[in-house]
Amino acid sequence: MNNLTNSKIFKSWIGYKLPLVHVKLNLGIKKIIADFFLHPIKRRIAKYYIYFLQKLTKIKVIAITGSAGKTTTKEMVASILSLDGNTVYSEGNIDPVFNIPRTILKCRLNTKYLVLEFGVEYPQEMDFYLWLVKPDIGVITNIFPTHTLYFKNREGVFKEKSKIIKGSKKVVLNKDDGFLKKVKQNKSEQVYWFKNGKNLLGTNANVAKTVAKVLNIDTKKMEKGIKNYHPQNHRLKVIKHRSGAVIVDDTYNSNPEALIASINYFNSISKGRKKILVVGDMLELGDLEVQEHKRVGVFIKKVGFEKVYGVGSLVKYVTSEVKTIDELTDELKKFLKPRYSILFKASRSIGLDRLIEKLI
């Protein structure tokens, strides 16, 4: 089996530079059929279909990558563009390797915009995405130390995500990100810049508005699109508990800078309230996991939370109050009262979403 998966013919068939972690041929006949036949065929159909649409109907493809804010930005961009024409965009929490072809095939001849999320976790995934589709506008929200188990460091994250620049006709980049400033001299005539907002959602809105400007969307549609945006579950979703407490559910994913940004946003909407933080392990940080958990621990201590609870094995570097989800269920009930706000933030496999379900 290893000889097969390592062969050039096999690698070419499953998709250009697709990391083999996405191909598991030892999990039964259904998985073999899906990975070796169905998915490769679907990818090629999607690849040539979107090429056909870009040439014939002039559909505009917007691809969004970055270390934080991709999904929220995608939702805001789609909300704006849907006011200007038929818009198709990535939905659900599906691996982009499978979600991008699936989303492309939802397009019709009258589709004006296609908005895709180019989330990368492994080296060469961006090459695979760009083999599937060439974006008219490529977006990078930011470069943070994420998935450093595979990318080693922030430079590795930048190297992978920045491939979208050469693969796109135009790019929208964060002017306040030190790493992204490096590309300014490479394609200055096709680079459009945005700045960070007052908080995380403000930054996402700035990205979406910049994309809209590149597409010559009028200001009224921009503002209405941002206003109509609704956050997806587990992504900075504000829940007003029947007790009067406010719960902020940001449990879909986590990395050091995203955690800090979430806390800053949480602070901005929690003025006058007593603040509780429930934080879980930040995963896939590799050799950086201890130092990054310690770094955010120092930041959290300066914020001034009433209580900081941790779930997982690495949060011991963040707080001494490490508990199980079952223990926290009863512990947190005493904070379900007016004038309390509770932020939940962790990588999704930690399971803090289940804890929120028990409380609401």
pLDDT band for 152, please (50, 70, 90 cuts): very high
Please give the C-alpha separations between residue 278 and each of 55, 78, 263, 266, 343, in angstroms, as whole numbers.
Answer: 49, 31, 11, 12, 6
CA distance 344 to 234: 9
Share the mean pLDDT of the chain. 92
Nearest to 150 by CA among 119, 118, 123: 123
As a whole number, mean pLDDT of residues 39-57 equals: 97
Listed by start position, the domains of the chain span: 57-228, 237-359
Q: Do residues 16 and 27 make contact, with C-beta atoms less than 8 angstroms apart?
A: no
Examine the pLDDT at 222 and tell me if it is beyond 80.
yes
Per-residue tokens: 256: 């050091």
CA distance 261 to 278: 15
Per-residue tokens: 54: 């870009």
What Rg, from alpha-carbon coordinates, does the chain have?
21
The class of domain 237-359 in CATH terms is: alpha beta
Q: Cα-flanking dihedrals φ and ψ of residue 273, to 5°?
A: -115, 160
Where are the alpha helices (H) located in 215-288, listed in sequence order? 219-228, 256-269
Instruction: Name which of 42-51, 181-190, 321-330 the model is least confident about.
Output: 181-190
pLDDT band for 5, please (50, 70, 90 cuts): low
Q: Which residue has the higher pLDDT, 139 or 91?
A: 139
How do strand 246-250 and strand 237-240 relate by DSSP bridges?
antiparallel
How large a percentage of the chain has pLDDT more than 90? 79
Give 238's DSSP letter: E
Other C-beta atoms lying within 10 Å of the C-beta of residue 121: 18
68-88: b (≥16 Cβ within 10 Å) or e: bbbbbbbbbbbbbbbbbeebb
CA distance 36 to 186: 39
As a whole number, mean pLDDT of residues 105-130 equals: 97
Predicted local distance difference test score (pLDDT) of residue 347: 83
Contacts (Cβ under 8 Å, ≥6 apart) of 15:
39, 40, 43, 128, 131, 132
Examine the pLDDT at 305 and tell me if it is beyond 60.
yes
Q: Do 237-359 and 57-228 fall under one CATH topology? A: no
Predicted local distance difference test score (pLDDT) of residue 23: 82
Instruction: Name which of 5-14, 37-46, 166-175 the model is least confident about.
Output: 5-14
As a whole number, mean pLDDT of residues 326-353 equals: 93
As a whole number, mean pLDDT of residues 72-99 equals: 94
For residue 206, how far is the Cα from the chain centroid? 16
Q: Cα-flanking dihedrals φ and ψ of residue 67, to 5°?
A: -90, -20
Half-sphere exposure at residue 276, Cβ-oriented, CA atoms within 13 angstroms: 23
Q: Which H or E element spans position 73?
A: helix 70-81
Instruction: Name which of 18-22, 42-46, 104-108 the model is least confident about.
Output: 18-22
Please give the C-alpha separations between residue 184 and each of 181, 189, 208, in angstroms, as whole numbers.
Answer: 5, 9, 20
Angle between helices 39-56 and 96-104 (to 10 degrees): 50
Ramachandran category for residue 81: left, alpha or beta (phi over 0 → left; psi -120 to 50 → alpha): alpha
pLDDT band for 10, please (50, 70, 90 cuts): confident
Query: How many residues does this entry show for the chain?
Result: 360
pTM score, two decimals? 0.90
Q: What is the CATH number of domain 57-228?
A: 3.40.1190.10
Name the 3-class secondary structure at 205. helix
pLDDT band for 26, please (50, 70, 90 cuts): low
Half-sphere exposure at residue 331, Cβ-oriented, CA atoms within 13 angstroms: 18
